[in-house]
Amino acid sequence: MPTVVEPKLIAGNANRPLAQAIARRMSLYRGMSVGLVDARVERFNDQEIFVEVYENVRGEDMFIIQPTSNPANDNLMELLIMADALRRSSASRITAVIPYFGYARQDRRTKARTPISAKLVANMMVTAGIERILTLDLHAAQIQGFFDIPVDNLYASPIFALDIERQFGDLSDVLVISPDVGGVARARELAKRINAPLAIVDKRREKPGEIAEMTVIGDVTGKKCIIVDDMCDTAGTLCKAAEVIMGHGATEVHAYISHGVMSGPAVERITKSVLKTLVLTDSIQPTEAVSSAPNIRILPTAPMFAQSILNIWNGTSVSSLFETETLGPIYEGIL
């Protein structure tokens, strides 16, 4: 009789806690133990990456859990080398679970003689043997078109909506804000889920990295404002936007961000800012400074990723997880 191929998880070093949390949630959903495949992912003295898988993976449905966050190049190479090791070990299918897709901001040529690095990364992943991508809140949705393999792009907005409903209770005075014109679609999606109005912060730059002026489009007077964006890097724009919104008469400003890159002075800026809370997902492993910051909270993505992996393995719908009604029971007792 043919054997039933089980989903198997393997993780790099980018976000081990998330990988272990996904394995625990899958164990809970399936009623049987699901662990990470025993492997070593380490570096030689010259920082070359070496991967050795200790378990038999021939004919198995493999899922590599590895965000390509800072250090982006090291984590990307770990992912590619793990994929190559599994392909050469005759795995039946290799899916890359990339909670945070690095290089996504380089999705187009903004000026002459610049690369489209996101497309280059896509080509490298396919060449390495990856046959499917599962990711969260791509910086630019069109990156899905850079791949000639299936790409499932999950959204954090259903998780944010569940958390907002729990944290705020009465949503009559809540207003969702996009920190720039480019993020309006993302902000509108969350606003629709919680039935809240929408405003926009328009920013003008005199040169890259410097914001000359910010203008709030919409009435924020007396409102609890929620800024929603896909990533927070150095937090300069976010903190300035919060100040401008408070200056226009808002009572509170909160931020819900999918990916907490949190580079350089970000944590210090957030701690000293007028933001009441900054809510991040754990797509990128939070540093000790982020975890201990008094006004930063972390939302888990493991329940959603675990169910998505099981749906891919079963051949059932992943897009069903975009709905609050479907995701709600998965997060019951967690948020």
Model confidence pLDDT, tens digit, residues 5-32: 789 999 999 999 999 999 999 999 999 9
Residue 132 contacts residue 93 (beta carbons within 8 Å): yes
Q: What is the pTM of this model?
A: 0.94
**pLDDT value of position 180:** 87
Q: Do 7-155+302-330 and 157-299 fold alike per CATH?
A: yes
Is there a binding annotation on residue 315? no
Is there a binding annotation on residue 52? no
**pLDDT value of position 206:** 59
Parse the chain into domains and list their residue ranges. 7-155+302-330, 157-299
**pLDDT value of position 207:** 58
Closest CA to 160 of 333, 329, 328: 328
Find the length of the chain: 335
> How far is 71 from 14, CA to CA, in rounded Å?
8
Architecture of domain 7-155+302-330: 3-Layer(aba) Sandwich (3.40)
The answer as to CATH 3.90.950.20 being correct for domain 157-299 is no
Residue 115 contacts residue 51 (beta carbons within 8 Å): no
Is there a binding annotation on residue 251? no
Q: Could you read off the pLDDT tens digit of each residue along the chain, which spans 335 residues?
A: 345 678 999 999 999 999 999 999 999 999 999 999 999 999 999 999 999 999 999 999 999 999 999 999 999 999 999 999 999 999 999 999 999 999 999 999 989 999 999 999 999 999 999 999 999 999 999 999 999 999 999 999 999 999 999 999 889 999 999 998 889 999 999 999 999 999 999 877 655 555 668 889 999 999 999 999 999 999 998 999 999 999 999 999 999 999 999 999 999 999 999 999 999 999 999 999 999 999 999 999 999 999 999 999 999 999 999 988 889 899 988 88
Which is the catalytic residue, given 203, 223, 224, 240? 203
Is there a binding annotation on residue 288? no
Residue 330 contacts residue 303 (beta carbons within 8 Å): yes
Taking residue 24's Cβ as centre, other Cβ atoms within 10 Å add up to 16
**pLDDT value of position 202:** 87
Is there a binding annotation on residue 237? yes
What do you get for the CA distance between the two ends of the chain, in Å?
Answer: 43
Residue 202 contacts residue 212 (beta carbons within 8 Å): no
Is there a binding annotation on residue 230? no
Active site residue 203: yes
Two tokens, residue 274: 């007028």
Is there a binding annotation on residue 106? yes
- Phi, psi values for residue 129, rounded to 5°: 115, 5
**pLDDT value of position 2:** 44
**pLDDT value of position 213:** 81
Query: H or E stretch including 305?
Result: helix 302-314
Is there a binding annotation on residue 170? no
Is there a binding annotation on residue 234? yes
| Residue whose token pair is 């990156």 | 143
Is there a binding annotation on residue 48? yes
